[in-house]
């Protein structure tokens, strides 16, 4: 069985590097993008098995827009939005209700500071491993 490939998109280079290493250590291949526009170009010719997206990148809603575009092209690809928006703004989002899932095209929302065991559990759940 070939390794699953996870796309990680974040404009914080340090966080992107740390997440890449964390996900690789969980046994996945990783492709990274430094923002919404770079990721949009990538997904034109590349279908990831799962995506982990930051929310606030070039724009405050870049993660939501990217999530929408990925789901429109690859509806079956699970998406995790990993963000510090709640800590930074006090605004919290979730995707537990059907109403929220209608406009937030993500499968899971996680606050940054994700532990490796927590991340592995959620990725495995979303990829049905």
pLDDT tens, position by position, 26-79: 999 999 999 999 999 999 999 999 999 998 888 878 888 999 999 999 999 999
Asked if 82 and 53 count as a contact pair (C-beta separation under 8 A), the reply is: yes
pTM for the structure as a whole:
0.86
pLDDT digits (tens, 9 = 90+) for 71-100: 999 999 999 998 775 545 555 555 555 655
SS3 assignment, position 7 = strand
Domain boundaries, the chain: 5-127
Run of H or E residues at 31: strand 29-33
- 5-127 under CATH 3.40.50.2300, yes or no: yes
């Amino acid at each position: 069985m070939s390794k699953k490939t996870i796309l990680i998109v974040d404009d914080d280079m340090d966080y992107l590097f740390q997440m890449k290493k964390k996900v690789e250590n969980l046994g996945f291949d990783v492709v990274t993008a430094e923002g919404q526009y770079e990721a949009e170009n990538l997904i034109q010719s590349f279908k990831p098995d799962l995506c982990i997206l930051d929310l606030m990148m070039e724009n405050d809603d870049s993660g939501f827009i990217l999530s929408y575009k990925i789901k429109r092209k690859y509806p079956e690809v699970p998406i995790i939005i990993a963000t510090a928006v709640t800590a930074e703004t006090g605004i919290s989002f979730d995707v537990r209700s059907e109403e929220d899932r209608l406009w937030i095209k993500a499968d899971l929302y996680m606050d940054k500071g994700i532990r490796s065991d927590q991340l592995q559990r959620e990725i495995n759940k979303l990829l049905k491993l």
